[in-house]
C-alpha cells in the first residue's frame, strides 16, 4: 500500500472510533494495523485492527470496518495439540455488520460483494449484528463479514491470535499488515 | 440484598453504561450481576457485571463501578494443571479507575477506603486507568480497585472465569451474585 492510502485509511478508521465513542491511545492509533491482505484494494477488502492484548491465554481486539469494507472468508485451523484453532466472539459496538457462516444460505443477503471476489465467499448463512449483538464462532469454521453503509466497530474477544495460521479462501490473500 | 436495592443499583449501572455509550441488550441489563459479595454494602463494596462470553478458552465482561464503589482485594489462584489461575486485562472505557497491585506503596493514593475495610487492602501500588488505558495482571496476583467520583466502566478480557475459585482477603466475603 502507498503511504498516502495507509494514512487516509487510518484517519477514516480513527473517525469511526470517535463516532463509536471508543477511547484509544495515540499510540494505538499510530500502530493500528491497516490490513489490505495483499489484495491492494483496501476500500473494498480488508479491515483496520487495534490489538489491545494478545497473550498465551486470550486476545482482545477492536476491529474497524469502513463503509461496506469486507473481511474476506477465512478460518482458524488447529495450530497444535494445545491450540485447537482460534475460537472468537464478535460483539458489534457501532454500525451494522453482516456476518456469514456455514449453514443454510440466507435468501437476499445484505452483503454486497464485488463480482471478482464473490467466488471466494462460499458460506452464506447471514447473521446481522447491531450494537450490543454478538456471535461466537467455533474453531476452524469458515466466516467472512461486511460492514453496512456507515461502517462498523466490532470488539473481538478470542483465544490467542496467531494470524499466520489463518487460512483464506482466496489464494491471492497474504496475511500481512502495513 | 433487598429487591429494591438491587433494582436501584441495576438502574444506576445502566445509566453509567449509557453515559459510556456502550450498547447492551435488554436481556444483558436484566441479568447483569449485582455483586455485593455478601457484605450487604453495595454502595461502597461490590460491582456490577455483564458477562459477554465465558467459555473454555476465554472470557469477556463489562464491569461497572458506581462512584467510589470498590471491588475488594482478591486473587485468582491456580485451578488445576490446565488452568494456572485467571489472567486478566482491565481496559478503562469510561470514568477513572484506581487499581492497586503488589509493588512499592504509592504515597497519597487516590482511593478512599472506608475504615472498616482498610485492613483487608494489603497491596497499595497504584495504577490510574483513564479511558483507553489498560493493565494486564499476571495470574494469582493480589489486586483491588475503586472507581473515581463519576463511576467507571471497565472492559475485562481474560482467560476462563471461575469465580468460585477467587480468594478474597476479607474472610467475610462470599462470591455470590444477585
Q: What is the ipTM of this complex?
A: 0.94
Question: Which residue positions in chain A have pLDDT lower than 70?
Answer: 176-178
Cα within 13 Å of Cα(A115), Cβ side: 0
Work out the minimum CA distance from B52 to partner chain A, whole angstroms.
Answer: 8
Of B123, B8, B124, B9, the closest CA to residue B64 belongs to: B9
Work out the minimum CA distance from A39 to partner chain B, whole angstroms.
Answer: 31
Confidence of residue B65 (pLDDT cuts 50, 70, 90): very high
Per DSSP bridges, beta strands A167-168 and A70-75 are: antiparallel
Q: What pLDDT, on the 0 to 100 scale, is given for residue A177?
A: 44
Q: What distance in Å separates the CA atoms of residue A35 and residue A42, rounded to the nearest whole number?
A: 8
B89 and A CB contact within 8 Å = yes
Q: Residue A59 forms beta bridges with which residues? A: A54, A158
Is A155 within 8 Å of B28 when comparing Cβ atoms?
no
Q: What distance in Å separates the CA atoms of residue B144 and residue B122, rounded to the nearest whole number?
A: 9
Work out the minimum CA distance from A74 to partner chain B, whole angstroms.
Answer: 20
Following CA atoms B74, B78, B82, B88 in sequence, which dihedral angle do they give, to the nearest 10 degrees? 30
The pTM of this model reads 0.95
A-B C-beta contacts closer than 8 Å: 76
Judge whether residue B6 has pLDDT over 80: yes
Judge whether residue B173 has pLDDT over 90: yes
| Dihedral sign for Cα atoms in the order B79, B82, B85, B89 | negative
Q: What pLDDT, on the 0 to 100 scale, is given for residue A81?
A: 80
Q: What pLDDT, on the 0 to 100 scale, is given for residue A176?
A: 57
Q: What pLDDT, on the 0 to 100 scale, is given for residue B178?
A: 41
Q: What distance in Å separates the CA atoms of residue A166 and residue B29, rounded to the nearest whole number?
A: 35
Q: What distance in Å separates the CA atoms of residue B57 and residue B157, rounded to the nearest whole number?
A: 11
Judge whether residue B38 has pLDDT over 70: yes
CB B44 within 8 A of CB B114: yes
Q: What pLDDT, on the 0 to 100 scale, is given for residue B176?
A: 57
Radius of gyration of chain B from Cα atoms?
15
Q: What distance in Å separates the CA atoms of residue A118 and residue A127, rounded to the nearest whole number?
A: 18
CB A77 within 8 A of CB A164: no
* CB proximity list for A40: less than 8 A, separation 6 or greater: A1
For residue range B87-144, list pLDDT tens digits in order: 999 999 999 999 999 999 999 999 999 999 999 999 999 999 999 999 999 999 999 9
Radius of gyration of chain A from Cα atoms?
15
Q: What distance in Å separates the CA atoms of residue B2 and residue A140, rounded to the nearest whole number?
A: 46
Residue range B138-155: mean pLDDT, rounded: 97
Chain A residue numbers touching B16 (CB-CB < 8 A)? none
Q: What pLDDT, on the 0 to 100 scale, is given for residue A178?
A: 41
Helix (H/G/I), strand (E/B), else coil: A110: coil
Is B23 within 8 Å of A131 when comparing Cβ atoms?
yes
Chain B residue at shortest CA distance from A60: B157
Confidence of residue B177 (pLDDT cuts 50, 70, 90): very low
| Dihedral sign for Cα atoms in the order A29, A55, B164, B125 | negative
A53 and B CB contact within 8 Å = yes
Considering only residues B82 and A66, tell me which one the structure prediction assigns the higher pLDDT: A66
Count H helices and E strands in chain B, helices first: 3, 9
CB A64 within 8 A of CB A153: yes
Judge whether residue B80 has pLDDT over 60: yes
Amino acid at each position: 500500500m502507498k503511504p498516502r492510502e495507509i494514512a487516509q485509511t487510518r484517519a477514516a478508521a480513527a473517525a469511526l472510533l470517535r463516532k463509536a465513542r471508543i477511547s484509544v491511545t495515540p499510540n494505538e492509533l499510530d500502530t493500528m494495523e491497516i490490513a489490505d491482505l495483499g489484495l491492494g484494494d483496501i476500500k473494498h477488502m480488508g479491515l483496520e485492527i487495534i490489538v489491545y492484548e494478545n497473550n498465551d491465554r486470550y486476545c482482545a481486539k477492536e476491529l474497524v470496518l469502513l463503509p461496506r469494507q469486507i473481511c474476506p472468508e477465512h478460518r482458524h485451523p488447529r495450530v497444535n495439540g494445545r491450540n485447537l484453532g482460534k475460537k472468537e466472539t464478535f460483539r458489534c459496538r457501532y454500525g451494522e455488520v453482516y456476518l456469514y457462516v456455514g449453514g443454510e444460505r440466507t435468501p437476499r443477503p445484505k452483503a454486497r460483494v464485488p463480482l471478482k471476489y464473490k467466488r471466494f465467499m462460499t458460506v452464506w448463512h447471514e447473521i446481522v449484528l447491531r450494537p450490543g449483538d454478538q456471535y461466537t464462532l467455533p474453531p476452524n469454521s469458515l466466516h467472512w463479514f461486511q460492514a453496512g453503509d456507515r461502517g462498523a466497530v466490532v470488539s473481538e474477544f478470542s483465544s490467542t491470535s496467531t494470524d499466520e495460521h489463518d487460512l483464506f479462501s482466496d489464494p491471492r490473500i497474504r496475511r500481512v499488515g502495513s
